[in-house]
Amino acid sequence: MPAIVEWFFPEGLYTIAMIGVFAVGAFTIKFPVSIAMAFAAIAGALIGGAGFPLRHLVEGMFGYLDTILVIATAMIFMKTAESTGLLEGLAAWIIRKFRKKPAFLSMGLMFIIMVPGMITGSSTAAVLTTGALVAPVLLQLGVCPHRAAAAIAMGAIFGMIAPPVNLPAMIIGGGIDMPYSGFGIPLIICTLPLAIFTAFLFIYPPLKKGDFSESGLEAELKRMEREPLSFRLFIPLLVLIVLFAVERVFPSHWPSLGMPLIFLLAAASALFSGVKWHPLQTVISAINDALPVMGILMGVGMFIQIMTLIGVRGFVTVSAIALPKWLLYVGIGVSIPLFGAVSAFGSASVLGVPFVLALLGHNEIIVASALSLIAGLGDLMPPTALAGIFSAKVVREDNYLKVLRCCIFPAILTALWGIAIILLANKLAVFLF
């Protein structure tokens, strides 16, 4: 009862008002999520007595500038790999190599779907690049459209959470001054088993039956093999791996370039790949694809800044810490994905940080990794449902709700897996660290 009464204190009313303004803007007026969050931030400042704090709005807008630069440059790298034919050629090679081994082919296709998310930290990037690339192949292999879209949506989310780039974990770490270091193995534990399970759930059954047209698949593979795989074609990927590895292996003897510069250098090395492509058009296409995600991060930054200014963020943090343990885990499994309908990144910041603070007795790195996994499910939550909607589009499925229905079981399993990892965080920490 006292917890309910607290919501009638000023900060609780401010929270309800900000969420209400966002809901009206995004779901009723149909503003883009980023614009709706900006209006919610302004409304919160006015209601909270802060007037129109332009400085805070601008400061919040650029609060995630580092993350925005990572997304933009990573998308440029992915579009470069797509323009040179590396992505299609590599996918075609994997399919030819394992087409008679359905189990390995299922996992290989899931890995291909995940790769852009692993590099960019965005499920949307994964769906729009390798998701769109793999979709015709899945359909040719006999996977029905809504199950193919579900596989792409879940794979994109797992890719977004898998290392090396996990934006929700970075956001959570930034909220508690925890560096993004040591997350690699915990994130693999969070995502790899779920990715394998999803591959066997959606992709493996039709492949095992072998009920598909060899001629149709062959035609699709020939289309994908417009550029034969060669060493020069792999130059951007090799440069990316080497720069990441050298920075981590020789930190005291190698300058810290930062992720954005590494992605740009790797993309620029594609000029030596021996393939004719248009760098300017590729960069423009990459930025256009990344703009919605970057806009959401700017809106999230403004939203969080005003929440902090008028005391709402502290109110949410205290409320989370005050929850009894059993209700805390229920809250994690339910509230984080639901708030992700606003944005998975916003959910990580607004709710992820308080829940990490509420679980300070557990290993912070593993807890943040698990919370980022659960936050990723926000990309399945309607009405935004970015992963679900875009996945439906790439398989030409008109009703994206069919896709979301297929995702219900793996999504519930994902939330339970994340909570289980939190419960076992200290034991895993002893084993891993």
pLDDT for res 192? 96
**Using CB atoms within 10 A of its CB, is residue 172 exposed (0-12), middle (13-18) or buried (19+)?**
buried
Distance of CA 335 to the CA centre of its chain: 18
Query: What are the two backbone dihedrals, phi and then psi, of residue 399, each rounded to the nearest 5 degrees?
Result: -100, 100
> Would you say 299 and 34 are in contact if contact means Cβ atoms under 8 Å apart?
yes
Sequence-separated (6 or more) residues with CB below 8 Å from residue 288 = none
What's the rounded Cα separation, in Å, for the pair 13 and 312? 9
Sequence-separated (6 or more) residues with CB below 8 Å from residue 100 = none
Selection from 193, 154, 138, 33 nearest residue 405 by Cα: 154
pLDDT for res 383? 67
pLDDT for res 331? 86
What's the rounded Cα separation, in Å, for the pair 38 and 71? 20
Amino acid of residue 231:
F
Give the C-alpha distances (Å, rounded to integers) separating 30 from 319, 382, 384, 410: 31, 13, 10, 29
* Torsion (CA) 53, 59, 61, 66 in degrees, nearest 10: -170
pLDDT for res 9? 63
pTM over 0.75: yes
Query: What are the two backbone dihedrals, phi and then psi, of residue 178, each rounded to the nearest 5 degrees?
Result: -110, 120
What's the rounded Cα separation, in Å, for the pair 124 and 294? 11
> Would you say 347 and 37 are in contact if contact means Cβ atoms under 8 Å apart?
no
Query: What are the two backbone dihedrals, phi and then psi, of residue 209, each rounded to the nearest 5 degrees?
Result: -70, -30
What's the rounded Cα separation, in Å, for the pair 419 and 224? 40
Structure tokens at 341: 């309908």
> Would you say 40 and 350 are in contact if contact means Cβ atoms under 8 Å apart?
no
Selection from 124, 172, 139 nearest residue 353 by Cα: 172
Structure tokens at 130: 């390798």
> Would you say 112 and 162 are in contact if contact means Cβ atoms under 8 Å apart?
no
pLDDT for res 433? 67
Terminal-to-terminal C-alpha distance of the chain: 41
pLDDT for res 4? 47
**Using CB atoms within 10 A of its CB, is residue 67 exposed (0-12), middle (13-18) or buried (19+)?**
buried
pLDDT for res 71? 82
pLDDT for res 74? 85
Cβ atoms within 10 Å of 393's Cβ, excluding its own: 18
The residues of the chain scoring below 70 in pLDDT are 1-9, 211-215, 342, 383-384, 433
